[in-house]
């Protein structure tokens, strides 16, 4: 129970609070297809198994960069969007994963993640990664031009 609570507070909850408080990472800003500016707040990349020994070499922005172009058409003008993902590879090579955009299963994103997981090194070892990312429409982009 304690582990689950720490995980939630250290990933989803902290990102939601940061987004509501107006925080974001300027280097991850982007414009939606309709020209609205969007700010990105990323939770930490949580790793399991194989990735625990490689965590210092991983790029926390990797999933965002890979999925960004596929996400753009999904953005509607609303204050917030979020992406919650979990991917893993069992020692048998079996893929397990979830990819949710605004709490809805996102099959296209999950298919891309499954392809990435198939390319992970050191087969035969359990490996997992998960991350929560939140996007906030910049209020300044709503101002009349």
Question: Which pLDDT belongs to residue 72?
Answer: 86
- DSSP-assigned states of every residue in 4-53: HHHHHIIIIIHHHHHHHTT---GGG-EE-TTS-EEEEEE---EEEEGGGG
Q: Half-sphere exposure of residue 109, counting CA atoms within 13 Å on the CB side?
A: 27
Tens digit of each residue's pLDDT, the chain (145 residues): 676 667 666 677 777 788 778 888 889 998 888 888 889 999 989 999 999 988 888 899 999 999 999 988 888 878 899 999 999 999 999 999 999 999 999 999 999 999 999 999 888 999 999 999 999 888 765 444 4
CATH of the domain at 47: 3.30.500
In a domain, 130, yes or no: yes
In a domain, 126, yes or no: yes
Helix (H, G, I), strand (E, B) or coil at 68: helix
In a domain, 59, yes or no: yes
- What is the four-CA torsion angle of 37, 40, 54, 122, rounded to 10 degrees? -70
pTM of this prediction exceeds 0.95: no
Q: Half-sphere exposure of residue 56, counting CA atoms within 13 Å on the CB side?
A: 1
Whether the CB-CB separation of 48 and 77 falls below 8 Å is answered with no
Question: Which pLDDT belongs to residue 112?
Answer: 97
CB neighbour list of residue 99: distance below 8 Å, 6 or more residues apart = 83, 84, 85, 87, 105, 106, 107, 109, 110, 113
Q: What are phi and psi of 131, to 5 degrees?
A: -160, 150
Q: How many domains are contained in the chain?
A: 1
Question: Which pLDDT belongs to residue 144?
Answer: 43
In a domain, 145, yes or no: no
Domain boundaries, position 98: 2-140
In a domain, 96, yes or no: yes
In a domain, 84, yes or no: yes
């Amino acid at each position: 129970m304690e582990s689950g609570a720490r995980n939630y507070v250290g990933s989803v909850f902290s990102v939601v609070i940061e987004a509501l408080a107006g925080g974001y990472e300027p280097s991850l800003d982007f414009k939606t297809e309709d020209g609205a500016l969007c700010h990105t707040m990323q939770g930490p990349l949580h790793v399991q198994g194989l990735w625990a020994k490689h965590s210092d070499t991983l790029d926390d922005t990797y999933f965002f960069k890979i999925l960004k172009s596929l996400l753009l058409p999904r953005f509607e003008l609303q204050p917030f969007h979020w992406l919650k993902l979990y991917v893993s590879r069992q020692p048998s090579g079996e893929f397990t994963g979830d990819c949710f955009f605004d709490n809805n299963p996102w099959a296209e994103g999950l298919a891309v993640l499954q392809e990435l997981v198939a390319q992970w090194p050191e087969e035969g070892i359990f490996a997992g990664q998960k991350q929560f990312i939140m996007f906030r429409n910049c209020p300044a982009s709503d101002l009349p031009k």
